[in-house]
Structure 1
Amino acid sequence: MDLLQAFLLGIIQGLTEFLPVSSSGHLEIGHALLGVKGHNNLLFAVVVHGATVLSTLVVFRKDILDLFKGLLAFKWNQETKYVSFLLLSAIPVLILGLLFKEKIESLFTGNIVFVGSMLLITACLLGFTYFAKSREKSIGWLDALLIGIAQAMAVVPGISRSGSTIATGLLLGKKREDMARFSFLMVLIPIIGANFLDLVGGEMSAADSIGVLPLAVGFIAAFISGLLACKWMIKIVKQGKLIYFAAYCLIIGLIAIFAG
C-alpha cells in the first residue's frame, strides 16, 4: 500500500464511517478499485476506524465529559443510565466478535458483489425511515438492545453501522437528534475494544508489511474527514434526509454487483 492509496482509503473511511453508506463496504470497494490486496486489509481498517473514534471524541467531547462527571457522582442518575444503555448496546457486537471473529474476518476479501448486495440491504433500511413517524420517545433498555443488535449486524461489509443503528432507532420512534448522538457514542466501546484486543493479540505486528507511514497517513486522513462528516451527519439526521443516502447505496450497490 503506497501513500496515495492510504490517503484515499483514509478519506473514504472518515467520510463513510459517519455517513450511512457503510465504511467497511466502501473500504472493500476502495481496495478493489485501487488494487490494494492482501491479508492485512483488516489491519488498515482497524487503524482508520481508530481515527474515526478520535473524531467522535472531539465532536462529542462535551457530552462525553458530562457523562464522566455523572459517573463520578457514584449514584444512579441520567448520565449513569445513559452509559448503561451504551454498554448494553455493545453486548451483541461483543458476542458476535468473540464467537465469530474468524468468520467475520473472512468477509473482508474484496468480494464487491457481496458488498454490493449488502449495500442494497442498507438502502432498504434507510428507505424505511422515510415512512417512519417520530414519536419523540426517549431511548430505553429494550431500544438500546435492539439498536445494539443492529450495530452487530453491521460487522458485515456493506451494512452501514450508522445507517442501521439510526434507522432502527427512528423506526422505534426515537428522536432524530437523540439517535444521532447515541449512534455515534455507542460505537466508541466496540471499536476501542477491538483495537485493544488486536494490539494485545499481536495483530499490529502486521504493520511491518503495510508500512507505518501509510498507516499514519490513512489515520490522519480518516480523522480529518471524519470530523467533517460527523458534524454533517448530525445535521442530516435532524433534517430527515436519509432517503438520499438510500438512493446512493442502491446505485453503488447495483454498480458493485454488475461490476463484480
Structure 2
Amino acid sequence: MDSIQALILGLVQGLTEYLPVSSSGHLEIGKVILGEGAEAGGLTFDIIVHVATVLSTLVILNKEIAWLFKGIFKPLAPADGNLSLYRRLNDEQRYTLNILISMIPVGVVGLCFKDKIEALYADNILPVVGCCLLVTAALLAMTHFYKAQEKETISPLHAFIIGIAQAVAVLPGLSRSGSTIGTGLLLGNNRQSLAQFSFLMVIPPILGEALLDFKHIVSPSAEYLAEHGIEQPIETMPLIVGFIAAFISGCIACKWMIALVKRCKLIYFAIYCAIAGSVALYFSL
C-alpha cells in the first residue's frame, strides 16, 4: 500500500464511519477498486484508521464525554424508601451504565465468534458486502416510514437491544451507525440523544479491539502475516497518512451525521446503500 492509496482509504473510513453506509464495506470496496497494493497492511491499516475515527469522536463530543466523567464519581442519591439502585444513579451514571450494557453483545461476539465469522467470508467478501448494504438500506428506509413516539432517554433494555444491533454489524456492509441509530429510532428513542449515544457506545469496543491487536501492529509475527494474507508489514508512512485522513474526515462526518439525524434525512442514505449494494453484487458475479 502506498501513501496515495492510504489517503483515499483513510478518507473513505473517516467519512463512512459515522454516515450510515458501512465503513467496513466501503473499505473493502475501495481496496478492490484501488487494486492489489491496497490489500497490503490488511487488518493493521483497518485498526489504525478505526482508532483515528474514535479520536475524532473524542474531539467532537468532548463536552459530552467531560460531562460523563464529572458525573460518574458523584455519590448516589440517598436510599429513601423502596428506591432502586438504578433510580439512585444520577443522569451521568445512568448514561454510562447504558453504554456498558450496550457493550455486552459486541463483547461476546468479538471475543467468542469474531474469527469464525470472518472465516465464513474471507475468500469471497464482496457478495457479503453487497447483501449487507441492502439490509442496511432496508433498515434505514423503515425508519423513514415508521414514526414511533420519541422517548427522551434511552432505557437499559433499549441500550442492550441497540448493542445487539452493533454486534450484528460486525458483518462488512452492515453499517454500525445505521444499525444502532435505525434500531433506536424504531424503538422510539429521541433522535439527537440517539446519535450521540451511538457514537459514544462504539468507543470502548474499538479501543478494546485495537488494544488486543496492538502487538500485531508493533511486531507482527509470521503466523499473523500468513493468516491475513500479507507478505510483508505495511510501511509506517501509509499508516500515518491514513490515520490523519481518517481523523480529519471523521471529525467532519461526525458533526454532519448528528445534524442529519436531527433533520430526518436518513432515507437518502437508504437509497445510496441500495445502489451501492446492487453494484457490489453485480461486480461479485
Say whether the fold is shared (TM-score over 0.5).
yes
How many residues in Structure 1 have an aligned counterpart in Structure 2?
A: 259
- The Cα shift of 1:105 comes to 3.6
Matches within 5 A, 1:38-117: 38=39, 40-75=41-76, 76-106=89-119, 107=121, 111-117=125-131
- Which runs of 4 or more aligned residues in structure 1 lie more than 4 Å from their structure 2 counterparts after TM superposition? none
Letter in 1 for 2:131: S
Distance in 1 between the 2:13 and 2:135 partners?
20
> Using a 3 Å threshold, how does the CA distance of structure 1 residues 194 and 88 change in structure 2: closer, same or farther?
same
- Quick check: 2:44–2:216 contact (8 Å CA) kept in 1? no
> Using a 3 Å threshold, how does the CA distance of structure 1 residues 108 and 49 change in structure 2: closer, same or farther?
farther
> Using a 3 Å threshold, how does the CA distance of structure 1 residues 59 and 139 change in structure 2: closer, same or farther?
same
2:147 aligned to which of 133, 137, 149? 133
1:144 aligned to which of 147, 159, 163? 159
Aligned to 1:210: 234
Distance in 1 between the 2:218 and 2:161 partners?
32
- Quick check: 1:29–1:110 contact (8 Å CA) kept in 2? no
- Show CA shifts across 1:22-42 (max 9, x none): 000000001111114647412
Secondary structure class of the residue paired with 1:135: coil
Aligned to 1:222: 246
Q: Does 1:245 align with 2:246?
A: no
- Quick check: 1:198–1:204 contact (8 Å CA) kept in 2? no
Secondary structure class of the residue paired with 1:202: helix
Aligned to 1:234: 258
Distance in 1 between the 2:140 and 2:274 partners?
10
- The Cα shift of 1:110 comes to 6.2
Distance in 2 between the 1:161 and 1:50 partners?
15
Distance in 2 between the 1:154 and 1:215 partners?
25
Distance in 1 between the 2:216 and 2:273 partners?
35
Letter in 1 for 2:95: Y
Q: Which has the larger displacement, 53-62 or 95-104?
A: 95-104
Distance in 2 between the 1:198 and 1:7 partners?
22
Distance in 2 between the 1:190 and 1:19 partners?
18
- Quick check: 2:132–2:173 contact (8 Å CA) kept in 1? yes
Letter in 1 for 2:70: K
TM-score relative to the length of structure 2: 0.87
Aligned to 1:3: 3
Q: Which has the larger displacement, 69-78 or 206-215?
A: 206-215
- Show CA shifts across 1:118-174 (max 9, x none): 100000010100122141212101100000000001111000000000000000011
CA RMSD of aligned residues (A): 1.6
Unaligned runs of 5+ in 1: none
Unaligned runs of 5+ in 2: 77-88, 226-231
> Using a 3 Å threshold, how does the CA distance of structure 1 residues 40 and 108 change in structure 2: closer, same or farther?
farther
- The Cα shift of 1:204 comes to 4.0
